[in-house]
Amino acid sequence: MADPNVLNPHPPEFERFLYACVGEDRNGSVVTVLSTLARLGFDPWQEAAEL
């Protein structure tokens, strides 16, 4: 049987933080902590681990 973490290798304890909504962009799309960090060129999962 395949490892269940193959499709989602990131630690689940960071998901609630990274997927928290921080607002909307100009197009009305939801902006999350994850998308904000990614737009700034950071690795969101690495940044969450360091916090």
Residues in the chain: 51
**Cα separation of 19 and 47, whole Å?**
13
pLDDT of 51 over the 90 cut: no
Read off φ and ψ for residue 45, nearest 5 degrees: -70, -35
- Over residues 9-44, the pLDDT tens digits come to 677 788 899 999 999 999 999 999 999 999 999 999
pTM metric for this prediction: 0.74
E strand or H helix at 46: helix 44-50
Domain boundaries, the chain: 12-50
* Res 19: pLDDT: 94
